[in-house]
Amino acid sequence: MEYTVMLPAAGSGRRMGAGENKLFLPLGGLPILIRTLGVFERDPACRQIILAVRSDERGRIRGMLSGAGITKVTAMPDGGQERQDSVHACVRAFMEAGGQDDSVVMVHDAARPFISPKVIGELAATAAEHGAAIAAVRAKDTVKQVRDGLVQSTPDREELWLVQTPQAFRAGLLAEAESRAEADGFLGTDESMLVERSGHPVRIVESTYDNVKMTTKEDLAIGEVLLKRLEEEKE
Ligand code: C5P
């Protein structure tokens, strides 16, 4: 199933403490951003990549793309203050370029380079059929809801899933959910929340625990280990 991927890449990387966009940090010698882009560049079902960037980083990123042979980036809109704003900029760019409501779009954090091509394929197929599908893994730990340092409740672990990206949607459904969130001043922590608000059911596609987001220095160390394991598996 063909799809367009939208990658918000306009964060600051404050929690990484790198002093620059964390996506420029090397993972196994290649910038995290290039590793994530490479997954989609190599996937024949990915028609195009829309990348939200900070305007002062556009030139540097352009140079990185051509140096790494990344050819599928068709638009690089300015990102926004919040991640949701950056995704919104991608959706607008997609629609302005004549994107169709029923085509499949997928939002993926540029900071998650270990997404599996198999999960991407399942997400695209599920979103095409049902409208909305998100990558998630089962919670391994018991989760408590806590307020002011006091445990309020313990949700049934069988029903708890930890949500990742990609999150895949029919484009019209995502665009409408985003417009509604914007009109209401609602800020979600993922795109699914916006679609959930609009009442459309969202399906889970089981992903892998490898699909970690490079957020802190510890994640980068885990990333190096994952990369080594993947390279050994290839040999
Ligand atoms: O900060 P966090 O790791 O949650 O960001 C997830 C993704 O969203 C990263 O790829 C980051 O570059 C992107 N982002 C963005 N615009 C923002 C904040 C984050 O594109 N304002």
CATH number of the domain encompassing residue 219: 3.90.550.10
Per-residue model confidence as pLDDT tens digits over 173-230: 999 999 999 999 999 999 999 999 999 999 999 999 999 999 998 999 999 999 999 9
pLDDT of residue 46: 98
Per-residue model confidence as pLDDT tens digits over 25-41: 999 999 999 999 999 99
Q: Which residues have a Cβ under 8 Å from the Cβ of 141 and sit 6 or more positions away?
A: none
Among 22, 83, 214, 217, say which to mutate for ligand 1: greatest number of ligand atoms within 8 Å of CB.
Answer: 83
Per-residue model confidence as pLDDT tens digits over 102-124: 999 999 999 999 999 999 999 99
Please tell me if the CB atom of residue 86 comes closer than 6 angstroms to any atom of ligand 1. yes
Q: Is the peptide bond before 201 cis (omega within 30 degrees of 0)?
A: no
Strands (E), the chain: 3-8, 26-27, 30-31, 46-52, 73-75, 104-107, 132-138, 145-147, 150-153, 161-170, 203-206
Q: Kindly tell me if the per-residue pLDDT of 17 is higher than 80.
A: no
Q: Kindly tell me if the per-residue pLDDT of 166 is higher than 90.
A: yes
- 144 band by pLDDT with thresholds 50, 70 and 90: very high
Q: How many angstroms separate the alpha carbon of residue 126 from the centre of ligand 1?
A: 25
- Domain containing 122 equals 3-234
Please tell me if the CB atom of residue 43 comes closer than 6 angstroms to any atom of ligand 1. no
Please tell me if the CB atom of residue 13 comes closer than 6 angstroms to any atom of ligand 1. no
Contact indicator for 103, 4 with CB cutoff of 8 Å: yes
The number of domains in the chain is 1
Q: From atom 21 of ligand 1, which residue's Cα is the shortest distance away? A: 82
Please tell me if the CB atom of residue 11 comes closer than 6 angstroms to any atom of ligand 1. yes
Q: How many angstroms separate the alpha carbon of residue 235 from the centre of ligand 1?
A: 33
